[in-house]
Amino acid sequence: MKTTEREVVLEGPDHFLDTVYETIEGHVRRTGEEYGQVITGVGTAEVGDVDHETESVLPVYVPATVDPEEALELIELALDRVADEHNMGLARQSVQVTFEDTEREE
């Protein structure tokens, strides 16, 4: 079954986005369910060498059928959850969440 997804871009500190990638990827792979009720997957990210001083971009995907405002709100809550679980509140504050204009089919 094909589903259309929208890409949401997270921009922020490498070390936090690395943790977000690992958390979401592990959850989706292990359970087969969305993370934070809306995130269906994450894009390619370099895991391993992360620098606390640099920023990077991490794409995450949400179903295109979800209202964009609701999707952004749920993504923000998911990021708060990751930050709380890993004691990364300060790094979380620096993350910007924006929709890409493209959609993809899976």
Q: Are 16 and 51 in contact (CB under 8 A)?
A: no
| Full set of structural domains in the chain with CATH | 4-105 (3.30.70)
Among the residues of 32-67, which ranges form H helices? Answer: none
3-class state of residue 47 by DSSP: coil
The per-residue pLDDT for range 22-31, each reduced to its tens digit, is 999 999 999 9
- Whole-prediction pTM: 0.84
The per-residue pLDDT for range 44-91, each reduced to its tens digit, is 755 445 555 688 899 999 999 999 999 999 999 999 999 999 999 999
